[in-house]
Amino acid sequence: MANNGIEKLAVDTVKALAMDAVQKANSGHPGMPMGMAEIAVTLWGRFLKVDPSVPDWPDRDRFVLSNGHGSMLLYSMLHLCGFPLNMDDLKRFRQWGSHTAGHPEIHQKLGIEMTTGPLGQGFATGVGMAIAETHLRARLGEDLVNHRTFGFVSDGDLMEGVSAEAGSLAGRFALGKLIYLYDDNDISIDGSTDITFAEDVAKRFQAQGWHTQEIDGHDLEAIDQAIEAAINLEDRPSLVICHTHIAHGAPNAQDTAASHGSPLGDEEIALAKESMGYPLEPAFHVEPDVYEFFETATAWGKEERTKWAKRLESAGEDKRELWDQLHSAAPVELEGPGFDVGEKMATRSASGKLFSEIAEKVPGFLGGSADLVASTKTVIDSSLRYSAADPSARDIPFGVREHAMGCITNGLAVHGGLKPYAATFFVFSDYMRPAVRLSALMSAPSVWVWTHDSVFLGEDGPTHQPIEHLPSLRAMPNLWMVRPADANETLAAWEIALNRTDGPVGLLLTRQDVPILETDPSGVKKGGYVLREGDDVTLIATGSELHVTVDAANLLDDEGIAARVVSLPCWELFFDQDEQYRSGVLGSAPRVAVEAASPFGWERLVGQDGLILGIDHFGESAPDTVIAEKLGFTGPAIAARVRDHLST
């Protein structure tokens, strides 16, 4: 398909659109789109399997712009190729309500596969997409699943530690359909990359099991040959190191740090267009031949989609049934093994007892932990682990890599056809936070399983005891945090997580045993409910503090103080209920909150006159029962605090 004349015009068009859009917005990053224009035109014009008329068809190639600051490159390519992104969108770059945001925001029906911008996230999430492809291909066959994941990555992506974690896993899993093109332009925001980044990138990735190549990133034929070589080598992921010039073609801005994130200015744009032989006016000019070139270039993708649709229609009964189940949004109801009131069980253990049933009822359920399966109790089949030799297995061994684990889980989620989870200790959610935030921002249905959820994990001490984590994650929009109080609430929490399709859910589970109470699973799904009636005071608790709050209520009742106990496992769902339900649960009596975490945020529920029994300091290394006694999280201690509060 090589036609260097029209491709040269297409390259110049991409550069011109980037310069014009950034200049009009008076904001943006023109340097990267100009530096990677030849790479983009070659990839999209010769290799990428997409159908702009059906952007989200399941067997399309995925493209991830990890260096998301160069978003105008992606928007230009989508527009020129005929995706539903029009010229007005390009002209409204970085404006309120526009599809062309400053960094790409997921919109797969427009061709934007994921939200990128925080460097390294796209790199690592793309690894998750590639894992999804290998897993689904192993289960459904190449007739239905056979595509690649391409990505553009930058110096900044490779400096971020998450790329090292994810790159290591990609090599270990031999993800041969993962191909990244690295914009090696020797420039970062503060100047030359030599200031901080002088490692041998090729050797680094070779050591991780990748195939590497080095090319001139402005040579169309060299780019073509490198991508072809990467495609033909399917036993390893590929990194193509493309030596480029930032702001390529701009006489004064090329190879300058200033061109990374600032408009070039009218004079420099005019000089750049003149040097390319491109029309100076009007801005946003596109020759009809360029549209025609990309229409021809994407025609084979349309043909491939049509052939794929016929193969899906004629697939065998077993494969078609599995396909439908994987892509079904049917509600999931769990029976559980039966949890008896009065018994004691850690909620992490209760969660583990549900995994076989979940795996049976949710064929797309898969995931793993950060080398903590024995502690998090998150395993589907301990004898089968995902690997290059067995990509159909559903237990993914992430190793001690929370950063990458979070991103890969998001990649599995946004790929489609899967319901992924990731598990670790709650305190290590800090290592996952960028990925958790992106899951919320992308409305990705990732499930975050965090065990050892409080100071009551005990002897490991304050380094492992989360204090501030719960309120900080509650502050994250679109993330549902569910902290069940016992085994039956844990079952309901898993139903919430499995049935949510428009965002992530975090499950907070105990290390220590807690008694199984007369809890109400239907109330859990509303975020909160009345466990014990009472009119004199309302005690609100979550998780492992619920049973000691019930103990406190019983002691108060003996003293003639009728205490209502409210279980509030999920604030987000509770605040989604109408005012009548919320006020009916909380009642009109004075309110007391009981939670072994930072008290931040509880004012919203207890009011200015309420009492919050929380923790505003780090924990200690001691058995959980000793910690509970010392910190006042026992029935008698809570009852005494409530009594004192009511008497003032």
Helices (H), 334-376: 347-352, 355-361, 373-376
Please check whether residue 528 is in contact with residue 581, taking contact to mean a CB–CB distance below 8 angstroms.
no
State the chain's mean pLDDT as an integer. 97
Tell me the C-alpha distance between 403 and 161, whole Å.
8
pLDDT on residue 4: 75
pLDDT on residue 418: 98
- Same structural domain for residues 102 and 34? yes
Q: Model-level pTM greater than 0.95?
A: yes
- Same structural domain for residues 404 and 541? no
* pLDDT classification of 328: cutoffs 50, 70, 90: confident
Does the structure show a pLDDT above 50 at 1? no
- What percent of the chain has a predicted confidence (pLDDT) above 90? 97
- Same structural domain for residues 55 and 200? yes
- Answer whether residue 318 is part of any domain: no
Average pLDDT over residues 335-361: 97
Average pLDDT over residues 30-45: 98
Q: Which of 453, 482, 515 is the last residue of a domain?
A: 515
Task: Tell me which amino acid residue 634 is.
Answer: T
Distant-in-sequence, close-in-space partners of 194: CB < 8 Å, separation ≥ 6: 186
- Answer whether residue 242 is part of any domain: yes
- Answer whether residue 52 is part of any domain: yes
- Same structural domain for residues 293 and 353? no
Distances (CA, A) of 109 to 52, 67, 172, 306: 9, 21, 32, 17
pLDDT tens readout for residues 218-277? 999 999 999 999 999 999 999 999 999 999 999 999 999 999 999 999 999 999 999 999
pLDDT on residue 365: 97
Q: Identify the domain containing residue 111 by its residue range.
A: 4-304
Q: What is the CATH number of the domain that holds 260?
A: 3.40.50.970
- Same structural domain for residues 471 and 542? no
Does the structure show a pLDDT above 60 at 171? yes
Tell me the C-alpha distance between 503 and 76, whole Å.
29
Orientation angle between helical segments 429-442 and 121-140, nearest 10 degrees: 70
What DSSP state is assigned to residue 621? S
Give 611's strand partners.
592
pLDDT on residue 2: 47
- Answer whether residue 216 is part of any domain: yes
pLDDT tens readout for residues 475-523? 999 999 999 999 999 999 999 999 999 999 999 999 999 999 999 999 9
Does the structure show a pLDDT above 90 at 373? yes
Average pLDDT over residues 608-630: 96
- Answer whether residue 314 is part of any domain: no
Task: Tell me which amino acid residue 356 is.
Answer: S
pLDDT on residue 3: 61
- Answer whether residue 604 is part of any domain: yes
Concerning whether 402 is annotated as a catalytic residue, the answer is yes
- Same structural domain for residues 611 and 501? no
Does the structure show a pLDDT above 80 at 412? yes
Tell me the C-alpha distance between 84 and 79, whole Å.
7
Start-to-end Cα distance in the chain: 83
- Same structural domain for residues 57 and 191? yes
Please check whether residue 564 is in contact with residue 589, taking contact to mean a CB–CB distance below 8 angstroms.
yes
Does the structure show a pLDDT above 90 at 317? yes
In the numeric block, the tokens 């975050």 are attached to 448
Give the active site residue among 268, 402, 545, 572.
Answer: 402
Q: How would you write 219-237 as a 3-class SS string?
A: CHHHHHHHHHHHHHCCCCC
- Answer whether residue 520 is part of any domain: no
Task: Tell me which amino acid residue 288 is.
Answer: P
pLDDT on residue 337: 96
- Same structural domain for residues 48 and 153? yes
**Residue 336 burial class via C-beta count within 10 angstroms: exposed 0-12, middle 13-18, buried 19 and up:** middle
Q: Please report the DSSP string for 97-117 in residue order.
A: T-SS-SS---BTTTTB-S---
- Same structural domain for residues 295 and 403? no
pLDDT tens readout for residues 427-480? 999 999 999 999 999 999 999 999 999 999 999 999 999 999 999 999 999 999
Tokens of 177: 């359909």
Please check whether residue 611 is in contact with residue 632, taking contact to mean a CB–CB distance below 8 angstroms.
no
Please check whether residue 74 is in contact with residue 65, taking contact to mean a CB–CB distance below 8 angstroms.
yes
- Same structural domain for residues 257 and 149? yes
Please check whether residue 22 is in contact with residue 263, taking contact to mean a CB–CB distance below 8 angstroms.
yes
Q: Of all helices (H) and strands (E), which one includes residue 508?
A: strand 505-508
- Same structural domain for residues 533 and 491? no
- Same structural domain for residues 261 and 362? no
Give 152's strand partners.
65, 181
Average pLDDT over residues 612-623: 97
Q: What is the CATH number of the domain that holds 585?
A: 3.40.50.920
Distances (CA, A) of 270 to 15, 226, 255, 263, 615: 12, 33, 18, 13, 61
Give 636's strand partners.
none
Tokens of 101: 């945001």
Average pLDDT over residues 601-605: 96
Q: Which of 492, 515, 538 is the last residue of a domain?
A: 515
pLDDT on residue 191: 87
Average pLDDT over residues 56-69: 98
Q: Of all helices (H) and strands (E), which one includes residue 646?
A: helix 635-647
- Answer whether residue 331 is part of any domain: no
Number of folded domains that form the chain: 3
Tell me the C-alpha distance between 264 and 459, whole Å.
58
Distances (CA, A) of 388 to 135, 163, 236, 487: 10, 20, 10, 36
Q: Which of 515, 534, 551 is the last residue of a domain?
A: 515
